[in-house]
Chains A and B, each alone.
Chain A
Amino acid sequence: MFSYCSDPSALDGIAWLSCYLTTGKHMAFYTSFGTVLLLLAITAPVALMFGFAGAMAARGRIAPLRWIGKAYIAIVRGVPDIAFFLFFVIALDQIIEWSRHKILCPDWTGPVRQGNDFVVCDAAKMPLSSSPQWMHETYGFSLAILTFAIVFGAFAANVMFGAMRAVPRAQIETAEAYGLTHRQAFWRILVPQMWVYALPGLSNLWMVLIKATPLLFLLGVEDIVYWARELGGSKTSKFTEYPHQDWRMWYFFALLVFYLMFTKVSEVFLDKLMKRLTRGQATTGGEAQRKAAA
């Protein structure tokens, strides 16, 4: 990157390090931090939506819908989530390919599962085998996002279901006394008030989501863990201009520090948000704020 980097073997100390840390591969490594942030930025709202829908379904008045909601919340408890990650990535992929297979190749008669193979017609491949590399990467990443959203949506549904029940019953009764319909009471009274009850659980979930991002590596995305392993491994001068020992320990140390800082910043920010949301609420926290101000 710098002009003096043309002959790395002649450099040493800080100059060597500055060249080493700005190679093309390191740039890819830094970009992969962006991948993690992108995953968080997309997954958090989608999971929140899944969670909201799940919680709504779980407290719905139609029995089958309620069962679906409750099952969705219950299913991810008791089973290690990493198993879900590994499961959903293949399962979603196969479900998508299988449905495309059914639609696009109706005259295909052979079974889809042949021994240990999963065979669909060429037109049903997702993405098509002729499509460029970036399509494959994007598809893999979207599957990862969907997997994260499904799993974390269930956790969020659990939190929000609890929060909806925590809103004082008297609030809904008052709404009904004013003649609001069930739907109006839900959207105008329950939903605005539930967030303060949901926030402790949701902020816990956010921390958990941050700490789950390295699992992207297991889903086959080239994320920070992938690059840390790739770049850290010992290199000889035959393959690279920057030979070094096994430095994976230091790369993972850097990741450790990155995550510690990230969780710390989130914690401070969420504390501020909690303070803001409790203002004027009929909870112990809100009461304490009122007394402190008076």
Chain B
Amino acid sequence: MSCWITIQDYALRSIGIGERLLPKQDFTLCQQFTLIGSGMLWNIYFGVLALAAGFFFATALAMGKHARSAWLRKPSEWFIFLFRGSPLFIQFFFAYFLFLSLKQVAPMFSPFTAAWLGALVVLFCNTAAYSGEIFYGALLSIPKGDIEAADAYGLSGWHRFRRVIWPTMLRLAWPAYTNEAIFLFHATTLVYFSGFPAWRQKGDALYYANYFADKTFNPFIPYPILAGYFILLTLCVVGVFGLVNARLNRHLPQERRVKLRFRPNIIR
């Protein structure tokens, strides 16, 4: 079987298009590359959606934690503490079993027991909490002069936030936020190892890599392939976030710009 046929059969296997059965024996390199690459679709799906939605929630959380009113501050603080203080792995398990029990009471929760929605909700809350803390830190380090200048121009409320506070906060937080994004993509590999079932063997990249390692009893091929894919993904993320960083810093003289430094936060 040529490699092209394998790609046709398995390139979209992770979302249920193509061959039903996974290869059982005589694994070729081509099969491993294709299937693990196919699984990456799920990692990208989880990462992109959780980041995009989590970004706005994180801004709200940071503003909430910064608020003077305890009614806003306490819930944000507790939310951030809850998701940053416990392992993502346990959060996944807890959420999965929580959704399972809720399903008994209200059938509307049944899609939440599937990974595509349930795990996404957990990742969304998790990244919102971590980014919220990053944004909060940036909020604290906004130069006092910037806000005084905004006041002097008569900006207040929404305008002051939109024109001065928010852009400065993002600019200061962006290098740390880039690391958070990389780190979130890595965290997506936990999904199918934490209770959420891979229905009809539709899993993510690590799920397939683990499948091959189990079947061939040879970890030295699938995991380096997975590593290669993730390094590519990381480079893409760094590239995209670098463009945003350049835009956020465009008004500053060259030497005062905040440099992006790749320093991932490791595990959660």
Contact = CB atoms under 8 A, between A and B. Distances in A.
B90 A255 contact: yes
Contacts of A118: 217-218
Interface string A208-231: 101111110110000001001100
Contacts, number: 125
A252 B89 CA distance: 10
Interface stretch (B53-61, B68-76, B91-99, B242-250): B91-99
B234 interface: yes
A177 B219 CA distance: 52
A96 B140 CA distance: 51
B110 interface: no
Contacts of B219: 86-87, 90-91, 94
B42 to A, nearest CB: 13
B101 A249 contact: yes
Contacts of B234: 78
A118 to B, nearest CB: 5
A248 interface: yes
A54 to B, nearest CB: 15
Given A225-B90, A249-B98, A81 B266 contact: yes
B186 A80 contact: yes
B35 interface: no
Nearest to A86: B210
Contacts of A191: none
B231 A78 contact: yes
Contact of B190 (A82, A116, A117): A82
B230 A253 contact: no
Interface residues on B, range: 35 or more
Interface residues on A, range: 35 or more
Given A83-B227, A256-B86, A218 B186 contact: no
B94, B189, B219, B266 — most chain A CB neighbours (10 Å): B266
B154 interface: no
B213 A86 contact: yes
B264 interface: yes
A264 B85 contact: yes
A35 interface: no
Contacts of B185: 80
A249 B94 contact: yes
B200 to A, nearest CB: 22
B268 A211 contact: yes
A232 interface: yes
A274 interface: no
Interface string A269-293: 0000000000000000000000000
Contacts of A86: 206, 209-210, 213, 219, 223
Contacts of B91: 256
Interface in A115-130: 115-118
Contacts of A113: 218
A90 B25 contact: no
A252 B215 CA distance: 31
A116 B230 contact: no
B266 A218 contact: no
Interface string A55-99: 000000000000000000000011111110011001100100000
Contacts of B189: 80, 82-83
Contacts of B210: 86
13 contacts: A79-B231, A80-B186, A82-B189, A82-B206, A86-B213, A87-B223, A116-B25, A211-B87, A214-B89, A217-B89, A248-B100, A252-B97, A260-B82
Interface of A: 77-83, 86-87, 90-91, 94, 113, 115-118, 155, 204-205, 208, 210-215, 217-218, 225, 228-229, 232, 246, 248-249, 252-253, 255-256, 259-260, 263-264
